Structure 1
Amino acid sequence: MQKRAYLLIIASGVLWGTIGIFVRGLYGLGFSSLQVVTLRVFSAAVIMLIYLLFTRPELLKFRFRDSLYFVGTGILSLAFFNLCYFITIRETSIAIAVTLLYTAPAFVAVLSRVFFRESLRAKKLFSLGLTLAGCAFVTGYLPKLGSSPFIPLPWLLTGLGAGFGYALYTIFGKAALKKYHTLTIITYTFIFASLALLPLVNFENSGGAFSTGSFWIYLAGMGIFPSTLAYLLYTKGLEEVEASRAAIVVTIEPVVGTLVSYFIFREMLSGWQLVGILLVLTGVVLIQERK
């Protein structure tokens, strides 16, 4: 069962890594970062809501007092980390933003120790170090020895905020699984995230894009593959795997994103990025339990 769970988490990371295909397509149609994030969570919410209404409407029931779980996964995690992430990209660079985002496994390891009493053995810490170093190589964020790039404090905090918000999905999702089905958690995650983001976005200047066929293809693809399906697989995998281990395994996402940029968008892939890919994959393999 645990082997299957690890495969589900790896698959979710692969799907998350393909999001650049759809995001670039929507950027090409004139949408802003915040608009793309909102379109992502709203389309996924609609897909999940329609699916459950026609197949398993009983899974839409939840106790109001348990809405804290979905505030955590939807607003504190999904909406918050996306906002922090795109602000950091805008004010610094993609490389710095992605590197700071992937401090998430470290946050998960600490929070899992506090809330779930998960162990912090040497093997887990070593795997964590490998994946963090690998992500730094993959994203091209390689400060020279003896010096460090200057990142203004506000953008350092937004970058770390993205990592922290990203980590919160694993923590709140793991807790919610004790009471609710995976489909329930995913659906209300996207609904609560949509409720938080829709008031912040204005689509008046993008009305023309809605009449193009390519928009609906990109929207459907983004709503299904790197959103609905990816979160379903990841949350399902969390049922069998420690939260801290899951967070390390899913760092395969930037590896896939880099490969997508190379094979689809013909962006350069350096030797250091290949080293980073190997480090991440090594960390992902090492973290898995052996019977």
Structure 2
Amino acid sequence: MTKSIADKAVPVAKAGYLGGMALAVGGAILFSTKAVIAKLLYRYHIDAVTLIAFRMLFSLPVFALVAVWQMRAGPPLSVPDRWRIVGLGLVGYYLSSLLDFLGLQYITVGLERLILFLTPTFVLLLSATLLKQHIGRLQWLALLIAYGGIVLVFVHDLQGGGNVMLGSLLVLGSAAAYAVYLLLSGEMVQRIGALRLVAYAMCVSTAACLLQFFLLRPAGMLVQPAPVYWLSLVNGLLCTVAPVFMTMTAVQRIGAGIASQAGMIGPVSTLFLGAVILGEAITGWQLAGTALVLTGIYLLSRVKRAT
């Protein structure tokens, strides 16, 4: 009897692991696809302010429902925690998303995704600067390799002209803003829960995005061609809501370390989606740069897991 139960437990555990991996990979691909959707939306001559307003507007109902559910299920937040969530929502989702979509107007989706993938390195550098944490030799090597890959792709794309420098700096600012969010939210995640924090922060971000839109743009810009609404729906639900919950579920099943490594498929998927859907060329320089960035982030994740 004991052996039979054990034999049944192995496939169940394996199925749970494979399911978690599938969720992590799927979440990374969907989240990376937002850059491709943004490029398609820009073809309809809307700007970043309008794009992000539509994205958050379509994702708001889901996050609002989760926020109300969490509000009823959990204890009330203290006043300081409420202000912290407002700050985190403004920095982590409003500012980082705005800078990201502004940058996408000038650079390829492949370069955008690689720059955003440097977020863990920003967390490490901020931890060393603000929290005085020590950076080991292997970590410095990982940083050097990752940033070397970015420089490789950046120099290649710079030859194509345009405002590549401006776009890269904007997306770099997006990665830095999200790193600040991750660094500051660590203690709150443990205390109030990831689901509750994300739902509340996304509601704050949505309010900021909509307020920004109505301050800077006429209400008539809400009237757009039908494809803009459909693409924004995909951007809000499939590229925002779905990957958030998929990644959270994956972390619960297989752990944050393995889930983050599975997420490395994001830059690769973006590179090929950009080629298939947008017609962006894939060159040897881009592939080499992508390989270097992924190697650097992988080494960094191994060091963090070991410590």
- Give TM class, smaller chain: 0.7 to 0.9
Check whether the contact 1:79–1:196 (CA below 8 A) recurs between aligned residues.
yes
Trace 1:119-130 onto structure 2 (pairs within 5 A): 120-130=135-145
Shift, 1:66, TM fit: 0.7
Larger Rg: 2
Q: TM-score, normalised by structure 2?
A: 0.70
Q: TM-score, normalised by structure 1?
A: 0.73
- Separation in 1, partners of 2:154, 2:259: 21
* Aligned partner letter, 2:188: A
Shift, 1:12, TM fit: 4.0
Secondary structure of the structure 2 residue equivalent to 1:209: coil
Shift, 1:120, TM fit: 2.8
Check whether the contact 1:43–1:219 (CA below 8 A) recurs between aligned residues.
yes
Secondary structure of the structure 2 residue equivalent to 1:18: helix
The 1:156/1:261 distance shift into structure 2, 3 A limit, reads closer
* Aligned partner letter, 1:180: I
Q: Does 1:269 align with 2:285?
A: no
Trace 1:30-109 onto structure 2 (pairs within 5 A): 30-51=45-66, 53=68, 57-58=72-73, 61-88=76-103, 93=107, 101=116, 103-109=118-124
The alignment's C-alpha RMSD in Å is 4.1
The partner residue of 1:172 within 184, 187, 201 is 184
Check whether the contact 1:30–1:206 (CA below 8 A) recurs between aligned residues.
no
Shift, 1:203, TM fit: 5.5
Shift, 1:51, TM fit: 4.6
- Separation in 2, partners of 1:189, 1:56: 13
Q: Give the number of aligned pairs.
A: 279
Check whether the contact 2:152–2:285 (CA below 8 A) recurs between aligned residues.
yes
The partner residue of 2:38 within 23, 26, 35 is 23
Trace 1:204-219 onto structure 2 (pairs within 5 A): 204-209=219-224, 212=226, 214-219=227-232
Q: Does 1:280 align with 2:287?
A: no
Check whether the contact 1:136–1:142 (CA below 8 A) recurs between aligned residues.
no
- Separation in 2, partners of 1:162, 1:191: 19
- Separation in 1, partners of 2:250, 2:88: 16
Structure 1, unmatched stretches of 5+, are: none
Identity %: 18
Trace 1:252-263 onto structure 2 (pairs within 5 A): 252-263=265-276
- Separation in 2, partners of 1:89, 1:181: 32
Q: Which moved more, 1:18-27 or 1:47-56?
A: 47-56
Check whether the contact 1:6–1:237 (CA below 8 A) recurs between aligned residues.
yes
Shift, 1:40, TM fit: 1.9
The partner residue of 1:220 within 211, 216, 233 is 233
The 1:109/1:223 distance shift into structure 2, 3 A limit, reads same
Shift, 1:151, TM fit: 5.6
* Aligned partner letter, 1:198: L
* Aligned partner letter, 1:277: T
Shift, 1:30, TM fit: 3.8
Alignment correspondent of 2:126: 111
